[in-house]
Chains A and B, each alone.
Chain A
Amino acid sequence: MQQNNSFSSMMALFFRFSKLNLKSALEYKFDRFFLAFAVFCREMVSIIVIYLILTRLIRIKGWEMNEMFFLYSFLFLSYSLFIFLFTGIRDFDNMVYSGELDRYLIRPLGLMYQIVASRVDYCATIGHGVVGVILFIKTAFNVGIDWNYKNITYYIAALVGGAIIQASLFMISSCFSFWAVKTINLRNLIFFNSRRFAGYPISFYPGIIQKMLIFIVPFAFVSYFPAQFFLRKPDLSMFWSGYLYMTPVVGVIMFVLVYRFWLFGLKHYSSTGNSMF
């Protein structure tokens, strides 16, 4: 069969994959709903903690509860978008570990295309997305934001940029799985911890952590700077104001660099074998 990689056939295949994903997700309706609910509960924990602390205190370092939740909404909505597009990157270590990657490698299609197209984790998308939407609705109209075209455009650009930054971070950790095979803890370290940092304004942290969140694991561009674009709290004066507009730029640059590293890692890949047990 002749290999046909034209754009339209790729898109057709993409929709076919999506349809299959949706079908398999809907096969177990209750199970999937329950899973989305579980993700929702897990993510609500950090929100509840902030809520409990702030009902006693009203504000921390000048940040009020609604402003804090507005910042948090960026984290959840961009993560939801990231999972919707790049579930395969999130599950990459596991694909290497279980040997499933070998199947992808022998198909006549680009590997990255397959990884992006072949999986969507609807439960995580919905679980995180619902938390994000709730926070957004609760806060977006009472923290003093004028939702004009400019602001809406910025908001969307920031979400997409944030999703790409997170995808790049996951790809870095999946690169390590080419060499060290089991990297779940390492990934937790890189990703979920920085994400925890980013749930609060980075001005809360000592300088070295702020620098880390800007230059090394740039989560500051996922939540803090986009939120500050709208809120302009006084602690912004600690940082260069150009950062406010950098989210999409950081996303694209990171993704390009990480993708090259990932291709390099792929060259060194040797299969772990297919046996599950």
Chain B
Amino acid sequence: MRKYLEIAKKSFQNNIVYRVDYFAGVINTLLMIFVNIAIWKAIYEEEEVLGGVQFKVVMTYIILGFLMQSIFMMEEYLIESKITSGLISSDLLKPLSFRINIFSYNIGALAFRVIMQLTPALIVSIVLFKLLSPFNLKSGILFCISAILGYLVLYSINFIVWLSSFWFYWTFSIVTIKDAVISIMSGALFPLWFLPEWLHTFTKITPFESIYFVPISIYLGLLPYDEIIFGIVKQVIWLALLTIVGHIVWKMATKKLVVQGG
């Protein structure tokens, strides 16, 4: 456990080094929120209520979506760079689990983003953009649980995609397509009820909905209690399934590994 904490700490410190990058990251998130609020304001100018939902609610949805996206960012090319550079051979020789190693690295980065980036962005969102508080205390707590599960679902999808670098050497295309699919289907950019009926139904049978839409809906109090529980159970099921798939792909990948020197 200690050694993995050490890896997480290293990754945390790595992020501190680039200060220009850090400030740009915070401003980046705030600008994105700002642009989208302006657009949604223009949309709501003609009608007070759209699809039965008020502007304030959609605005909170959008803000939360971007705040979550900013901390859910991961090191997409970590495994790829380890393979192409050959460093993976020494990683596999270490008395550490490679998968937990990668996970700890991302947790370190996550901790950095939560403490250093989310905190200022959240304060600005509350003061400037009038972010609504959770519907009630219970939905606040359930939101936190659901958001953590959302992160883990996203991580396990990402991990499977990253492992494709064992076969392709070069994963920019796959990662980019994955990002495009997730940003439409997970409700990261807009509430999913804006999707056409058939596509919205389709997202319900994919893991994508679990990443952003479920936690944010819980936060906003849009779901009745039994649907909240159903949503969280679905997240757990997806997490379990994707972890199993990740495990199988990992076993296949290690058999496949070709090291080109290091």
Asked whether A39 is an interface residue with its Cβ less than 8 Å from the other chain, the reply is yes
Stretch in contact with the other chain, from B176-184, B225-233, B249-257: B176-184
Q: Given that A49-B190, A185-B20, A193-B28 are contacting pairs, would A41 and B180 also be in contact in the complex, using a CB cutoff of 8 Å? A: yes
Complex alpha-carbon distance, A186 and B21, angstroms: 6
CB atoms of B24 and A185 under 8 A apart: yes
CB atoms of B50 and A188 under 8 A apart: no
Q: Which of B87, B176, B179, B183 has the most CB of A within 10 A?
A: B176
Complex alpha-carbon distance, A38 and B174, angstroms: 7
Contact pick for A184, options B21, B50, B170, CB 8 Å: B21
Please name 8 further chain A to chain B contacts, defined as beta carbons within 8 Å, in addition to the given A60-B45, A180-B20, sorted by A numbering.
A41-B177, A42-B176, A45-B180, A55-B196, A57-B46, A176-B20, A185-B21, A204-B41
Q: Given that A41-B177, A61-B42, A200-B39 are contacting pairs, would A189 and B172 also be in contact in the complex, using a CB cutoff of 8 Å? A: no
Total of A-B residue pairs, C-beta within 8 Å: 96
Complex alpha-carbon distance, A41 and B175, angstroms: 11
Residues on A with C-beta less than 8 A from B46 are: 57
Complex alpha-carbon distance, A260 and B22, angstroms: 28
Closest CB in chain A relative to B1 CB, distance in Å? 28
Stretch in contact with the other chain, from A10-18, A29-37, A73-81, A108-116: A29-37
CB atoms of A193 and B32 under 8 A apart: yes
Complex alpha-carbon distance, A61 and B195, angstroms: 21
Closest CB in chain A relative to B149 CB, distance in Å? 24
Complex alpha-carbon distance, A116 and B193, angstroms: 46
Closest CB in chain B relative to A32 CB, distance in Å? 9
CB atoms of B176 and A182 under 8 A apart: no
Residue positions of B touching A, CB distance < 8 A: 18, 20-22, 24-25, 27-28, 31-32, 34-35, 38-39, 41-43, 45-46, 50-51, 85, 87, 170, 172-174, 176-177, 179-181, 183-184, 189-190, 194-196
Closest to B45 in A: A61
Closest CB in chain B relative to A49 CB, distance in Å? 6
Complex alpha-carbon distance, A276 and B262, angstroms: 12
Q: Given that A56-B194, A182-B21 are contacting pairs, would A38 and B28 also be in contact in the complex, using a CB cutoff of 8 Å? A: no
CB atoms of A182 and B20 under 8 A apart: yes
Complex alpha-carbon distance, A123 and B194, angstroms: 32
Closest to A201 in B: B42
Closest CB in chain A relative to B171 CB, distance in Å? 10
Asked whether A262 is an interface residue with its Cβ less than 8 Å from the other chain, the reply is no
Closest to A189 in B: B24
Complex alpha-carbon distance, A38 and B87, angstroms: 27
Complex alpha-carbon distance, A275 and B51, angstroms: 56
Closest CB in chain A relative to B131 CB, distance in Å? 18
| 8 A-B pairs (CB sep. < 8 Å) | A35-B172, A39-B176, A45-B184, A48-B184, A53-B43, A57-B46, A61-B42, A193-B31
Residues on A with C-beta less than 8 A from B181 are: 41
Asked whether A144 is an interface residue with its Cβ less than 8 Å from the other chain, the reply is no
Complex alpha-carbon distance, A233 and B189, angstroms: 28
Residues on B with C-beta less than 8 A from A149 are: none
Q: Given that A38-B173, A45-B180, A189-B31 are contacting pairs, would A205 and B38 also be in contact in the complex, using a CB cutoff of 8 Å? A: yes
CB atoms of A206 and B24 under 8 A apart: no
Q: Given that A42-B180, A49-B190, A180-B20 are contacting pairs, would A193 and B35 also be in contact in the complex, using a CB cutoff of 8 Å? A: yes
Asked whether A277 is an interface residue with its Cβ less than 8 Å from the other chain, the reply is yes
Contact pick for B177, options A38, A61, A196, CB 8 Å: A38
CB atoms of A206 and B38 under 8 A apart: yes
Asked whether A52 is an interface residue with its Cβ less than 8 Å from the other chain, the reply is yes
